[in-house]
């Protein structure tokens, strides 16, 4: 089991450099850094792995197990048959090719623990040469390297990758690397050809868009990289590049892209363009539904221009009194246009010195009609020409719960005016009109000018006030499933919107030891919290395999767990989740309670040896024990038995007695393994010295409960002259004609049948190895 979580060990990290924060901010201030992506997320690799492991355990249930898979693996003189393989849910981790060689390129590994299945090798004529049976105690795993090419988000907001495009598939069915790769390749072929298209894709996560309607990830690209020349694989970070709905994928990040997680275990960069296009533009449309906006590149910065839309002021009439006479001053209604593409002016929003600034540069003219005559006796008409620069500013701040960022209240709004009066016909009347409007008309001075100021400044406030909250879980949920996975602590707007925080503050602050436990009926396991010293911890348990009757018990204070009695349990193991809670912190461990205490594989092996001894005559066996104590090995004494290299250990090598030391046609050796509690498991090795009769199962004859046996000498069928009356191992019955019927309850995965053939006045012994339970069999020459 330990190999499943080997990528999440605690490893030392290099300390941050003294000027890490200063250098990172200086780099971010130079230019936008998302390279065409909507957002870039960076997570400390080790903390991300721990969080993935915690979520894996926290959400594991009986539905996480993949349905049984049957696969034939052709190749060489033997083919391999995998029957009834069941897998736990995929566990993803980000790691390097080799723990000892940091210079190797990082990668993403998907592991699917094997919880059940049998593995057999079949030689020519359908002769079974070995049988192995796996359960959780063996800790076998299907692993693959996930090709983190660009993934897509489907209509269910799931981030999808094609698991069939993974590489380096491997199943550690035994210690032979070639066998591991060969079986792994068969599973890859199975994923590619046997599965329907909708089953080939693997959902990395479910994006939660309910928290934020503006950010909708559509394309996702993951990569893993290390920190400089770091000496430990802990110094690495996971990079997730994201493009939003309606956008295209960005570019590959340059080699000199800054390492982001030197100080913080989580850094989120929301692209400047995305901020303007997805959040601010929606805010503008809230106030001005008919407006049209466009994000453009201005130098090396982005700017959101409002290229259509306007505000209208109503016509006004004021009165001017001079020398006892009252004169009306009428100002016509005006339309203030937001966009003026011809000269680059207009209403726009952009990033400026760490704040989000809205700015409106424009000019306007209002028609004026004075209630007095000019010097020629005509009614006076003129224009008030207006030009202005107005701007407002907000900054982004982290929410109190660390779940995202919000815009502050508008911090300032400033308007800089330039005004002039221009007569349409008689310039000499300008001074008179100016005096009337600016000096002698109190209503105009006190009411119209402030109203005009408000008309100009209001749009610059409206387009950035009450900006939508940017809840980062819509981005975090690309990888993680829990809402409190990342806690933000600060943010800045040097160019892009950059948010800093930590991964797993409430779930990874503490860790249960052990995090994965394998136990037996009724045994106890002491769980503890690391780092040590945590007080006020409450322990609880719940079923992770769907049956709450078989979970055992745990002391809520001490963490001492007692496994349940599985005497009446249907299945090879019960899965139990252990939960440690301290205030708002919660962490998990997964317990597998087994019926077996010891396993050995292969369970049965047929080995044909010749007169000249060779290493090919030997059989390597592998054992596992529930308590982790190496078992003891012994051979049942028959006078013809072989030898074992070791008396104790998790693996051993069996060497048969040399060919010329044994007169029997074949020898059946029984190897006994004993664990620390005295419980036994056995393995059978059949050593074929001189059997020249081919005994096997008849092709196409197997049913769910029976199979016809046969014996041949060359191509001659000698089944009628054969007695199938010796059951050397396993259970079941055999008729006189060689029809084998398996027992009602199959307790062992094989039956070994002895055969005695009388042929042309001579007698010959042979054997047939029958894998159980029976399944329809198709043999071959």
User: Token digits for 550?
Assistant: 């078989």
648 secondary structure, DSSP code: B
Q: To the nearest whole number, what is the mean pLDDT of the chain?
A: 83
Report the DSSP pairing between strands 560-562 and 528-530.
unpaired
Q: What is the pLDDT of residues 382-402, one digit of tens each?
A: 788 888 899 999 999 999 999
The pLDDT of residue 291 is above 90: no
Greatest CA separation found in the chain?
A: 152
Q: How would residue 430 be classed by pLDDT, with cut points 50, 70 and 90?
A: low
pLDDT of residue 743: 87
> Which run of H or E residues covers position 30?
helix 20-30
Distance (Å, whole) CA 402 – CA 73? 52
CATH number of 693-781: 2.60.40
pLDDT of the residue at 242? 93
What confidence score (pLDDT) does residue 419 get? 60
Please provide the distance, in angstroms rounded to a whole number, between the alpha carbons at the two ends of the chain.
39
Once rounded to an integer, what is the mean pLDDT over residues 356-377? 83
Which of 197, 136, 88 is CA-nearest to residue 626? 136
CB atoms within 10 A of CB 319: 14
CA dihedral sign, ordered 310, 314, 320, 325: positive
CA-nearest of 1, 112, 6 to 65 is: 112
d(CA 382, CA 365): 10
6 has pLDDT over 70: no
- The Cα–Cα gap between 432 and 418 comes to 20
Report the alpha-carbon distance of residue 20 to residue 29 in Å, rounded: 14
**Confidence grade of residue 147 (pLDDT, cut at 50, 70, 90):** confident
Beta strands (DSSP E) in 88-188 are: 91-98, 101-122, 128-134, 141-145, 151-153, 158-162, 167-171
Query: Are 32 and 250 within 8 A, CB to CB?
Result: no
| pLDDT at residue 524 in the model | 93
Name the class of domain 280-466: alpha beta
Q: Could you report the per-residue pLDDT of 531-548, keeping only the tens digit for each?
A: 755 678 899 999 987 778
The count of C-alpha atoms lying within 13 angstroms of the C-alpha of 122, restricted to the half-sphere facing its C-beta, is: 23
Integer Rg of the chain from CA: 39
pLDDT by residue (tens digit) across 685-735? 988 886 777 777 776 666 778 888 888 887 788 888 888 876 777 788 888
* DSSP per position, 53-66: HHHHHHH--GGGSE
Does 738 or 418 have the greater pLDDT score? 738
Evaluate the CA torsion angle 757, 759, 763, 764 in order and state its sign.
negative
**Short-list 385, 492, 382, CA closest to 427:** 382
Q: How many CB atoms lie within 10 A of CB 166?
A: 22
Return the ∠ at Cα 598 (arms to 596 and 603), rounded to 5°: 100
Common-topology check for domains 511-594 and 693-781: yes
pTM: 0.78
Question: Dihedral angle at the C-alpha atoms of 429, 431, 433, 438, nearest 10 degrees?
Answer: 170
Residue 69 CB contacts under 8 Å (≥ 6 apart), including other chains: 82, 84, 85, 86, 87, 187, 190
Percent of the chain with pLDDT over 70: 89
The DSSP secondary-structure symbol of 437 reads I
Return the percentage of the chain with pLDDT > 90, whole number. 25
Task: Tell me the CATH number for domain 511-594.
Answer: 2.60.40.60
Q: Where are the domains of the chain?
A: 16-270+472-503, 280-466, 511-594, 693-781
């Amino acid at each position: 089991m330990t190999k499943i979580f080997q990528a999440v060990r605690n490893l030392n990290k290099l300390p941050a450099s003294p000027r890490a924060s200063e250098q990172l901010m200086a780099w971010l201030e130079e230019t936008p850094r998302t390279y065409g992506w909507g957002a870039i997320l960076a997570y400390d690799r080790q903390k991300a792995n721990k969080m993935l492991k915690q979520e894996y355990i926290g959400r594991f249930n009986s539905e996480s197990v993949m349905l049984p898979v049957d696969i034939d693996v052709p190749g060489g003189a033997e083919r391999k048959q995998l029957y009834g393989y069941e897998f736990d849910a995929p566990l993803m981790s980000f790691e390097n090719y080799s723990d000892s060689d940091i210079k190797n390129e990082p990668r993403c590994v998907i592991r699917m623990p094997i919880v059940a299945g049998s593995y057999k090798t079949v030689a020519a004529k359908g002769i079974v040469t070995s049988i192995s049976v796996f359960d959780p105690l063996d800790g076998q795993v299907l692993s693959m390297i996930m090709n983190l090419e660009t993934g897509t988000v489907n209509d269910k907001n799931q981030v999808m990758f094609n698991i069939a495009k993974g590489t380096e598939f491997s199943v550690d069915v035994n210690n032979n690397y070639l066998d591991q790769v060969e079986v792994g390749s068969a599973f890859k072929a199975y994923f590619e050809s046997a599965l329907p298209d909708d089953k080939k894709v693997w959902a990395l996560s479910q994006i939660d868009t309910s928290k934020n309607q503006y950010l909708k990830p559509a394309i996702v690209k993951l990569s893993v990289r290390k920190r400089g020349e770091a000496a430990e694989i802990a110094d690495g970070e996971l990079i997730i590049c994201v493009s939003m709905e309606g956008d295209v994928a960005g570019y590959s990040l340059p080699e000199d892209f800054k390492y982001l997680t030197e100080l913080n275990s989580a850094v989120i960069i929301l692209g400047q363009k995305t901020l303007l296009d997805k959040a601010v533009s929606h805010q503008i449309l809230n106030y001005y539904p008919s407006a049209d906006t466009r994000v453009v590149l201005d130098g090396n910065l982005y700017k959101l221009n409002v290229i259509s839309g306007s505000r209208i002021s109503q016509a006004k009439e004021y009165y001017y009194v001079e020398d006892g006479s009252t004169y009306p001053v009428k100002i016509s209604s005006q339309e203030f246009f937001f966009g003026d593409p011809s000269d680059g002016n207009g209403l726009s929003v952009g990033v400026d010195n760490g704040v989000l600034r809205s700015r409106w540069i424009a000019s306007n003219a209002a028609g004026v009609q004075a209630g007095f005559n000019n010097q020629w006796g005509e009614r006076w008409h003129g224009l008030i020409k207006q030009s202005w620069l107005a701007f407002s500013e907000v900054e982004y701040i982290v929410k109190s719960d660390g779940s995202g960022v919000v815009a502050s209240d508008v911090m300032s709004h400033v308007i800089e005016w330039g005004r002039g009066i221009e007569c349409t016909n008689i310039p000499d009347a300008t001074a008179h009109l100016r005096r009337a409007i600016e000096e002698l008309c109190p209503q105009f001075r006190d009411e119209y000018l402030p109203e005009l100021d408000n008309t100009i400044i209001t749009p610059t406030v409206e387009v950035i006030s009450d900006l939508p909250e940017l809840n980062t879980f819509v981005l975090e949920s690309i990888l993680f499933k829990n809402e409190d996975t990342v806690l933000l602590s600060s943010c800045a707007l040097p160019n892009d919107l950059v948010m800093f925080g930590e991964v797993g503050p409430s779930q990874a602050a503490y860790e249960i030891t052990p995090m994965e436990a394998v136990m037996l009926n009724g045994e106890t396991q002491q769980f503890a919290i690391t780092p040590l010293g945590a007080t006020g911890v409450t322990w609880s348990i719940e079923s992770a395999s769907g049956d709450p009757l078989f979970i055992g018990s745990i002391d809520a204070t001490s963490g001492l767990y007692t496994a349940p009695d599985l005497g009446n349990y249907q299945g090879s193991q019960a899965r139990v989740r252990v939960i440690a809670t301290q205030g708002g912190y919660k962490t998990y461990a997964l317990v597998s309670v087994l019926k077996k205490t010891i396993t050995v594989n292969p369970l049965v092996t047929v080995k044909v040896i010749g007169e000249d001894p060779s290493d090919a005559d030997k059989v390597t066996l592998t054992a596992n024990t529930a308590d982790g104590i190496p078992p003891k090995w012994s051979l049942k004494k028959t006078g013809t038995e072989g030898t074992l290299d070791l008396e104790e250990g998790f693996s051993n090598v069996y060497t048969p007695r040399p060919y010329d030391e044994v007169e029997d046609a074949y020898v059946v050796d029984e190897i006994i393994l004993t664990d620390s509690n005295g419980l036994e498991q056995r393995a059978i090795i059949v050593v074929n010295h001189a059997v020249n009769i081919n005994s096997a199962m008849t092709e196409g004859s197997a049913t769910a409960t029976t199979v016809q046996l046969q014996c041949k000498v060359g191509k001659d069928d000698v089944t009628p002259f054969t007695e199938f009356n010796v059951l050397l191992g396993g259970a079941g019955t055999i008729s006189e004609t060689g029809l084998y019927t398996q027992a009602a309850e199959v307790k062992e995965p094989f039956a070994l049948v002895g055969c005695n053939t009388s042929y042309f006045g001579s007698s010959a012994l042979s054997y047939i190895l029958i894998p159980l339970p029976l399944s329809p069999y198709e043999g071959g020459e």
